[in-house]
Structure 1
């Protein structure tokens, strides 16, 4: 049986995806990334004073429903465009695990490159448990003879889906303070061999977790970018791409974190009307969706989805 896993770029017609879930949310403890300069003052206040008081507790239902509503609307659009949708298994934190749990951002615990499903290695301890929710899906693909690659837990390698942007024959890997590292990038190159060239891209803002929080590829040598968040100049051949550039506010609101459904259709946040007009000028049909609550947790449509198969 030939595996149906196939991801060679970010913009072929999306056919199958893992979409995050938000059955229950658990409040984390404070983490250093929230105190970096990129975090707004209100988020720094919440994480320094509220999280330590409430850590480990289940988030109130009114808040959980906000995330559920946004994911449900995104799912409807995916289904309407003929995408087959999977979800992680909803899990609960275990007593020996660090506080906090959110399973909305399915992009990071696992990722697909070419015909391989790779189990990510997450650096922030609170997020490491998310991989447990993916195990049943991994087993299903394994039974279908998919190529499953696992990073050893104690390897010191970190590789997260939000940092990995595929555009064969190149794979770009964001290198930052709190997520993927150079060792993870080299491991991915070893796995892919001569199938693709893995190109590290350094994040210069330590408060940005992943590459797709400041850059996304949306077509053949086309993308959306916040240049000030990345190394200058961009590494070859990324420096030859044509980009729509966003400002600081749009970047902070996860404006680069879009999801391409097919070469002509793209999902973006409703509030980014200037970006919508730029994309329409490039010939895209835009599907605008309210995703404000996810963006407040520094994620949006790409973060919430792990593509399994694109044409």
Structure 2
């Protein structure tokens, strides 16, 4: 009888293991196998419009969202184009054999308690994955601080059952109403985090991740063998992936003007394709490698795609003009759960 029970326990454990979703991010260009693709929900608050916090957006983009409120209400045709962009991108991802998960929509209760703005539009920032560690971020902008909530179902379904870590950055401190910095944080956002094996680069421009958030990440990851390098950014750059992107081993795209201390030392010998600051703020560096041999970008950046193809990388094009007008592009719209050779 004991042998039968033991056999049943072993078989049950094996079934649970086989049902697990593997979670691991090796690098920014390792083959992408499982990814979370963002929804298209946003209401830009009046408080953000009247501050300097949207300085990363080109002037034309700021005009387009100046009305405020939920885009589906004040610009339904633009909303439809935005959703269409995400679906076209999903088609490309699935054509390449990538499993795609989506956050749920925001609930009416979440919208009602979010103050004068809310967001569920860039899956890259509210959480990120380094190796087998899934980390909920700490968002700086007030209307984005609950953006992780629609992703919690993805966590329950695919992260909890997996053999991986799952933690959250400490809640940011409450700032005085007249404090334009929004307080000491800690702030740490996924768009600022680039993974290269056991080396992690984290950007800071004053708009998103800050030194305290970077210090927390370095402390958390150190026991797992990772080192974290801070990368100072131009004040017009929201996140590191808006100034620097890895395409494959030894090849990157960068806006050197936006990297205040130059190309990080471990990357100085890499071949690079450069873009100017205006193109960086239009998200030229924010394409997405699907692996070392395939890269996705916007047709607006065909000049970049042509350069990338010279290195033997196939380039896929998806029109992401509405998405880009909101301050993010292909990398911002996704968060990998599995990138592994």
Tell me, in whole angstroms, the C-alpha distance in 2 between the residues paired with 1:45 and 1:30.
Answer: 15
Is residue 2:27 matched to residue 1:9? yes
- Report the Cα distance in structure 2 between the residues aligned to 1:35 and 1:138, rounded to whole angstroms: 30
CA distance in 2, matches of 1:256, 1:117: 24
Residue matched to 2:221: 192
Output the CA distance in 1 between the equivalents of 2:74 and 2:38: 17
Residue 310 to residue 46, structure 1, CA distance change in 2 (3 Å)? closer
- 1:240, 1:87 → 2: CA distance? 37
Residue of structure 2 equivalent to 1:79 = 94
Q: Decide which of 133, 143, 152 is 1:116's aligned counterpart.
A: 133
Hey, what does 1:212 align to over in structure 2?
241
Farther-moved stretch of structure 1 (185-194 vs 295-304): 185-194
TM, length-normalised to structure 2: 0.83
Query: SS of the residue aligned with 2:309?
Result: helix
The residue correspondences of 1:264-283 to structure 2 (distance < 5 A) are 264-283=293-312
2:93 aligns to what SS in structure 1?
helix
Q: Which residue of 1 aligns with 2:9?
A: none
Question: RMSD across aligned C-alpha pairs, in angstroms?
Answer: 2.1
Q: Which residue in 2 is equivalent to 1:100?
A: 117
CA distance in 2, matches of 1:121, 1:98: 18
User: Which residue of structure 2 lines up, in the alignment, with residue 308 of structure 1?
Assistant: 337
- Contact 2:58–2:282 at 8 Å: present in 1 too? no
Shift of 1:220: 1.2
Distance in 2 between residues matched to 1:39 and 1:68, nearest whole Å = 20
Per the alignment, do residues 26 and 279 of structure 1 end up closer, same or farther by CA in structure 2, a change over 3 Å counting?
same
Matched, 1:284 2:319: no
Structure 2 residue 231 is matched with structure 1 residue 201: yes
For each residue in 1:262-309, what CA deviation from the matched residue of structure 2 results, as whole angstroms up to 9, or x when unmatched? 111000111212111100001110001100111111110000000110
Q: Are the structure 2 counterparts of residues 64 and 157 from structure 1 closer, same or farther at C-alpha, using a change threshold of 3 Å?
A: same
Structure 1 residue 239, shift from structure 2 partner: 2.7
Name the CA distance, whole Å, in 2 between partners of 1:35 and 1:11.
29
The equivalent residue for 1:244 is: 273
Match of 1:50 in 2: 67
CA deviation after TM superposition for structure 1 residue 56, in Å: 9.5
Query: What is the alpha-carbon distance in structure 2 between the residues aligned to residue 201 and residue 114 of structure 1?
Result: 20
After superposition, give the CA deviation of every residue in 1:13-47 in whole Å (9 maximum; x if it has no partner).
1000000012x4434324234563x5433345556
Which SS does the other structure have where 2:146 is aligned?
helix
- Following TM superposition, the consecutive aligned residue runs of length 4 or more in structure 1 with deviations greater than 6 angstroms are none
Unpaired runs of 5+ residues, structure 1, are: none
Q: 1:105-144 maps to which residues of 2 (within 5 A)?
A: 105-140=122-157, 141-144=159-162
Aligned to 2:165: 147
Report the equivalent of 1:256: 285
How many residue pairs get aligned? The number is 305
Query: Higher mean Cα deviation, 128-137 or 24-33?
Result: 24-33
How many Å separate the matches in 1 of 2:61 and 2:292? Answer: 36
Tell me the SS of whatever aligns to 1:94: helix
Deviation at 1:100, TM superposition (A): 2.5
